[in-house]
Structure 1
Amino acid sequence: MVCRFFYTRLKSFVLLIHSCKCDLTVCRKVPFGRPVYWTSLLLLHEVACPASTRQSRVMSCEKGDGDPMEDPLFILESGEVYRNPTEVKMSQIVMPCHANHCGELSVGQLLKWMDSTACLSAERHAGSPCITASVDDIHFEHTIGVGQVVNIKAKVNRAFTSSMEVGITVNCEDLFSSCQWNVCNAFATFVARRTEEGKVQLKQVIPRTQTEQMEYSIAAERRRMRLTHAEIITDLLSSNTAQLGECQEYQGAVSAERTRVESVELVLPPHANHQVSTFGGQIMAWMENVATIAACRLCNAHPTLRTIDMFHFRGPSHIGDRLVLKAIVNNAFKHSMEVGVCAEAYQGAGALRHINSAFMTFEVLDKDRKPRTLPRIRPEPVDGKRRYQEAIARKKIRLDRKYIISCKQTEVPLSVPWDISNQMYLSYNNVSALKIMAARSNWMLSSEKNKVSLYTLEENQILCFKVETHVTVPAEQAFHLLSDLRRRHEWDRHYQKCDVIIQADEDDTIYRVATPCVSKGGKGQDFILLASRRKPCDSRDPYLIALRSVTLPTHPATEDYTRGEVLCAGFSIWEESNAVTKISYYNQATPGVLPYISNDIAGLSSSFYGTFHSCNKYLEENRDSLAVLPPSDL
């Protein structure tokens, strides 16, 4: 309580100091179609969307203080307002032909619009035809009613060698209340179609704004997660299902066989894109259709799609293909169910080709838009039981993902329990949080001494600080030396002792760090830290060492130390030349960290200079040594 009180008072004091200092301010066309008869549209809206439904949708329109990362208008030298050159927008009024019998926009139709918009953005950047390779997890926050407007925006966040990440945002607009709300966000990977000369080499994306820089930076970490996703998920399913044992029997359970759906579609020219391949959005829409039928057969009610897990297109499909779509409810939980869907293609007497598989999570909402309790499922023998158990494991993985990744940074708890099943998401959150902090542009210089600078930043009641310096050591060598926390005590007096607890993988390590007491007569602090280090993907990326607190059941708090917590900290290491490296240390202040830096932030001390002067000396003395992370002692 004392630390939290001190934390609040200190932030006010820092703002007062800064207010007394001198000013440090650093220096589609939308084609109109046929006239819309608003009276008829309003009547259509009233009939299709009951008042209670419309009211719940409007009430869900959240008007916060805005995203702190949202950029102000960026004015070019020509005087024009900057707009991302890859940005594509689509706006559609939801008509009855787009909706289901409940007057809600079909998710399949929404997926087609999203894929189309994203593809146009990718092709605008590539300058050549592109195909959908994969789509990350999508969580649908709200449904959309007839008469409302769907606004979709897509832009290329980053291009790699021949693939690129396209970010997609979808919001809904109620024309009769001027209310807008977010529906979903998604990230899709597109690949430039091969030409006769071979693979298309994509040009690099040049981020111009703070938000673009953040998305560009985090895209590399998302790509890393995608490349290992399938293998990691397979390992997690194997380990988790082995611990589940036999399937639990429920009285009155519905047979899974009853929910099985099989449907065939003939790919015709309207289903193909301008490359004569089956439109990826169309395949997703067909898959959503059979999944909805399977979910409906379980509950005898209209289900609402909430989540689609990350999926990859395994192969192409073309005009003339017969697409066989199969769906079945794998498992039903208290308020949700998982439906597995598979799409295969064949031509004539040819063999079946696997096109895509996906897992979709459905809910059934009552009249108050709350999830209803669902009947349980009785799985089929052998494969059915395997799918049943794997669905339980995937549910845990989804909870980890939602708990760790989907939360806003202000909602993430200081320490998250670590285990092998959430390692991938914790590492992603660890690195992306540091990249978001580093992308901030409104840092204020607090003090400077001998080219070591201390900056502060306060946003949304969160205080962050940054220490910046330059060293004459190659960036890669500085990265190797600083990423080994066991040697940090050689230059940082706040690190008394540091031991490796778990070597999760080559780039992720869990340490226990012991620090001395700041005040006389008190106890020292200890921290359980996940350290995630990342090498740059290209010259526009820094070396990164990200730190955050985790909890381990094998290492609870002890009486000898006060358990401290770190929400986000770490190093960003930029190679400015062959001989000069810029090192920036970031930390999002918490009550456990503030005592070590509070005097420096308030201008009452410059101990940060001594610490980073020692860091410079340590790096220069060890510029020819090699730091290697050891295996875990456990």
Structure 2
Amino acid sequence: MTSEVKTDPAQGPVSVQSCEEGYRNPTEVKMSQIVLPCHANHRGELSVGQLLKWMDSTACLSAERHAGCSCITASVDDIHFEHTIGVGKVVNIIAKVNRAFTSSMEVGILVNCEDLYTDKQWRVCHAFATFVARRTEAGKVQLKQVIPHTQTEQMEYSLAAERRRMRLIHAEIITDLLSSSTAQLGECQEYQDAVPAERTRVESVELVLPPHANHQVSTFGGQIMAWMENVATIAASRLCNAHSTLRSIDMFHFRGPSHIGDRLVLKAIVNNAFKHSMEVGVCAEAYQGGEPTRHINSAFMTFEVLDSDRKPRTLPRIRPEPVDGKRRYQEAIARKKIRLDRKYIISCKQTEVPLSVPWDISNQMYLSYNNVSALKLMDARSNWVLASEKHKVRLYTLEENHMLCFKVEMNVSIPAEQTFHLLSDLRRRKEWDLHYDECEVIIEADDEDTLYRVATPCIRKGDKGKDFILLASRRKPCDARDPYLIALRSVTLPTHPPTEDYTRGEVLCAGFTILEESSCVSKITYYNQATPGVLPYISTDIAGLSSGFSSSFSACSDFLEANKDSESALPLQSL
């Protein structure tokens, strides 16, 4: 079976056209809607609030198809809207469950726009939503596993675990990043003719009626998101007395349900305005009778104001309110920096030199995510070609998009967790890998991310050796179907510039996956996307002119065997 994979650099594969006749993902749900004037804004473009309703409905149907019971929206990841949609166009939405966990599941959503007259289609946005299965009379639901059938489904399944990890630590990491970033920003700047933030404040109340409820008699998540988008748009438009266009939404996270009869209070205000964009903070709170308000949802939305040529207009500056307003003003600057860091990291092209991106604590989350995701994508590829095999060590190659990748595979009689801990500390790799002369720890960022400087020997007489600044990201399995992962990629550090003694090399994607075959047998696979700095070390092996790979990994097997009971199998922080 073959499949056409369309990949987004930020999130991985987002759509697939299967070439296996008759196969269709059992959780896939499609919705097609023609955009009518009642769905549109004053410019004749589809309201984003209406689009969010359709997206949420489609994703919910997919989740319930898999769960076999009612499901509720827990969160929706960041969404970037690439295009607007005009009246008369057709919106095609495809949703399918990428992976199920205990009682929650990730649903991938792809939105395309279709012009019926030209037969053209283009992508509008994609998103990942998390749905939770509601308890039944029998108690908490245990969701059945999703079984990937295509290469793309395997990629989505694997990456879903990493995205879930990001969601679980999202709030904590963002708080840390904001506190560290805002400390460096100083006081708010005063601008002449700045617009008072108070002028942009919007507060609106909605009574939740039966038409706003879903089939579970709680407020439809898509409706809440649509109301939030409405007040945010009003706030953005008040800044410059012009209609605004929504470009992106930071994660929606539902903190609690609301029901028929609730009053939903929706609040929005422009937190900060930059040259061509502004950030609007919006929240939804619910109350009933004399009860205190309950926080239902909050989000940050980025708007632009377009001129007659559809180009972003220059925006007026904002004058924040004292105390909380100044805090929101500074946090908006920090969030913009985070977004720009993430955009830079995920948009780096493989052909660009340097391949590595700058490291600092504010972009650790995204570098680590991309590091692990790149390795998972390589692991999910199915079109590897066996180049050679010796002493039960197998070398495979894959040529794709003018890039050569290789993997080395072997089985060892060592438990997977022990193997993972032994290989996680790159300082010990020189004990079995002749390509490692030196290895030192530069930064131990946390339990899962460490920065190393690695030096390798020269290949030809008269040449200099190479050195690499590597980020090593480690992950334990999410469940039994996942391997242990040690992902490696180059980063740049101002404290460790290139030196005259070494040529600075770069690693785009490399690392180990360790899969538990049984309680005492593990399958180790080493991957490398062969950049120019790495290729000379393995070119003769790939060409079949030598078997250095076999010797190195046989030595790795001996190293693991000799140390399988040693205390060096402890996590790095314990060494």
TM-score, normalised via structure 1 length: 0.87
User: For residue 161 of structure 2, what is the aligned residue in structure 1?
Assistant: 220
Q: Aligned AA for 2:20?
A: F
Q: Aligned AA for 2:27?
A: T
User: For residue 5 of structure 2, what is the aligned residue in structure 1?
Assistant: none
Question: 2:447 touches 2:573 (CA, 8 Å); kept in 1?
Answer: no
- Residue 256 in structure 1 maps to residue 197 in structure 2: yes
Partner of residue 74 from structure 1, selected from 4, 13, 20:
20
Partner of residue 316 from structure 2, selected from 368, 372, 375:
375
More strand by share: 2
Partner of residue 415 from structure 1, selected from 349, 352, 356:
356
- Residue 491 in structure 1 maps to residue 432 in structure 2: yes
Q: Aligned AA for 1:368?
A: D
Output aligned runs, 1:502-513, within 5 Å.
502-513=443-454
Distance 1:411 1:264, change over 3 A: farther
Partner of residue 417 from structure 2, selected from 476, 485, 492:
476
Question: 2:14 touches 2:126 (CA, 8 Å); kept in 1?
Answer: no
1:429-479 CA distance string (max 9 Å, x none): 000000001111111111111211111111111111111111111111111
The Cα shift of 1:368 comes to 2.6
Distance 1:399 1:110, change over 3 A: same
The Cα shift of 1:74 comes to 2.4
The Cα shift of 1:242 comes to 1.3
Q: Aligned AA for 1:196?
A: E
Q: Aligned AA for 2:570?
A: V
- Residue 320 in structure 1 maps to residue 261 in structure 2: yes
User: For residue 495 of structure 2, what is the aligned residue in structure 1?
Assistant: 554
Q: Which runs of 5+ in 2 are unaligned?
A: 3-7
The Cα shift of 1:410 comes to 6.7
- Residue 605 in structure 1 maps to residue 571 in structure 2: no
1:421 alignment partner, SS class? helix
- Residue 616 in structure 1 maps to residue 557 in structure 2: yes
Q: Supply the distance in 2 between the matched residues of 1:196 and 1:409 (Cα, whole angstroms).
A: 52
- Residue 563 in structure 1 maps to residue 509 in structure 2: no
Q: Which runs of 5+ in 1 are unaligned?
A: 1-24, 27-61, 76-80
Distance 1:482 1:69, change over 3 A: farther
Q: Supply the distance in 2 between the matched residues of 1:446 and 1:323 (Cα, whole angstroms).
A: 63
The Cα shift of 1:372 comes to 1.4
TM-score, normalised via structure 2 length: 0.96
User: For residue 40 of structure 1, what is the aligned residue in structure 2?
Assistant: none
1:256-299 CA distance string (max 9 Å, x none): 11100010101011100000000000000000000000000012
1:172-200 CA distance string (max 9 Å, x none): 11111111111111001100112333321
- Residue 628 in structure 1 maps to residue 574 in structure 2: no
How many residue pairs match? The answer is 566
User: For residue 5 of structure 1, what is the aligned residue in structure 2?
Assistant: none
The Cα shift of 1:367 comes to 2.6
User: Identity over aligned residues, as a percent?
Assistant: 84
1:134 alignment partner, SS class? strand
1:43-80 CA distance string (max 9 Å, x none): xxxxxxxxxxxxxxxxxxx9xxxx899464225xxxxx
Question: 2:280 touches 2:300 (CA, 8 Å); kept in 1?
Answer: yes
Output aligned runs, 1:122-137, within 5 Å.
122-137=63-78
Output aligned runs, 1:75-474, within 5 Å.
75=21, 81-405=22-346, 414-474=355-415
Q: Supply the distance in 1 between the matched residues of 2:354 and 2:537 (Cα, whole angstroms).
A: 21
Q: Supply the distance in 2 between the matched residues of 1:580 and 1:349 (Cα, whole angstroms).
A: 62
The Cα shift of 1:409 comes to 6.4
Q: Aligned AA for 1:515?
A: T
Q: Aligned AA for 1:229?
A: H
Q: Supply the distance in 1 between the matched residues of 2:97 and 2:18 (Cα, whole angstroms).
A: 20
Q: Supply the distance in 2 between the matched residues of 1:469 and 1:126 (Cα, whole angstroms).
A: 38
Q: Supply the distance in 2 between the matched residues of 1:89 and 1:369 (Cα, whole angstroms).
A: 31
Question: 2:14 touches 2:108 (CA, 8 Å); kept in 1?
Answer: no
The Cα shift of 1:519 comes to 1.2
Question: 1:150 touches 1:173 (CA, 8 Å); kept in 2?
Answer: yes
Q: Supply the distance in 2 between the matched residues of 1:272 and 1:503 (Cα, whole angstroms).
A: 49
Q: Supply the distance in 1 between the matched residues of 2:229 and 2:179 (Cα, whole angstroms).
A: 27
